[in-house]
Structure 1
Amino acid sequence: MSIDALLFDKDGTLFLFEATWESWAHAVLMRLTDDDPERARVIGADIGFDIDSRQFHPASVVIAGTPGEVVAQLRRHVAYTDAALETILNEEAAIAPQVEAVALAPFLTDLRRRGLKIGVATNDAERPARAHLDAAGVTGLFDFISGYDSGHGVKPAPGPCLAFAAATGLAPERVAMVGDSLHDLRAGRAAGMRTIAVLTGIAGADELAPFADIVLDDISHIPDWLDNGQT
């Protein structure tokens, strides 16, 4: 069956994960601790981030979790309300540096020329997600943009994937979910979609392959996969 739509994760898929979220984590931790590196080091360890090397542990809650889940971890260390913490996380996310995994405007424009519907489903909040897409000049190329707070649920549950299928009027089996994490791939599989793994996030090919129809170095290889009959 042909693929008529692609649903992309954002961080680690459209944008390189490390470039964005390592800078974000450092900025958040320093803001929360008033630039105290010792406190930042302790809190960072609890969310799976080494502030000295500026690297995430593969099991970090930041990698596939929602801002709400990150807030729950941070709340143990700082005297902020959940709402105040979530505001800080989203403010820093909206201004975090973005490095495109590939040149997004021409890539996405080519997909549209092929007649494909395209969407984004991220466990980030919708507002910073739109800010990132706006900065890349590609928001208008998407038929659907969903964050954890958009009312469709969060990955690995299939809600965001099914919402995209409904919004585009397509059966889930005619859609491919594209992502860099097991949350993405499990959500796609649970929705009955094809799944494409990319290696522009933290997870490696061996981890992703059991849940993916294909593992690609990055999203630029998707057109060739489509042209070759999705094999």
Structure 2
Amino acid sequence: MKLRSLARGATLTTAALLFATPAATTVHAAEAPACAKEQLAYLEAEDKAHAADKDADAAAVQAAFDQAERDRATLHQTTDHIVGLADAIDSLAYSASKRVATEETELKELQKEYDAAVNATDDARKARDASDAAGVADAAEKAVAAARRSRQVAKHADMTSYKRVDLMIRLVEKDAVAARKATTAKDYDSLKEKAQQSQANARAAHDAVPAARSELKTCLSNATK
């Protein structure tokens, strides 16, 4: 009876020890591989960099900004050409004033058209600074109308002056059409800010890759010593 009790006690003790001590294979399976955290960080950094390169929204923002930049340049070019057209009218008037046959009425009419062109340049500058596409186009059309009238009024200018006015009329007429379509110029500042932020985000994503790679290499180097 005493031996049976002892044997039973020994069996219970062995069972308790088995349950209390985890198996060696269980402990090994729970251990994380060396530098797992650094490997995941590196892969995530690479994924973000690739995502930044393929970001459709960022590409759309950049494309919109590029268009706004082109439209803004169109308004500036149109304004510059309007100034050139006013100068051409002035040269036409000066050329006519040098001719003996030119009458005072002709010069007064030329001065009037030159003043109209100068007013158009002022309107164009104000509209350009406000990114007002329609305003710049309207000013261009006013300048062209003044130039056409001066071309008809001038009877005694030299051929070079006539040709210069004709050239500038063609340029500004073409500009007026383009300027009226340059409506995204008004969004230039906001789109520039968005594009710059998008570029900064992409740079940050790419800059994170070398740092994560360096940390992974350091960890692997230490783990293999």
Query: What TM-score results when the alignment is normalised by the length of structure 2?
Result: 0.32
Rg larger in structure:
2
Structure showing greater relative contact order (alpha-carbon pairs closer than 8 Å, 6 or more residues apart): 2
Which of the two has greater helix per residue?
2
Query: What TM-score results when the alignment is normalised by the length of structure 1?
Result: 0.32
Which of the two has greater strand per residue?
1
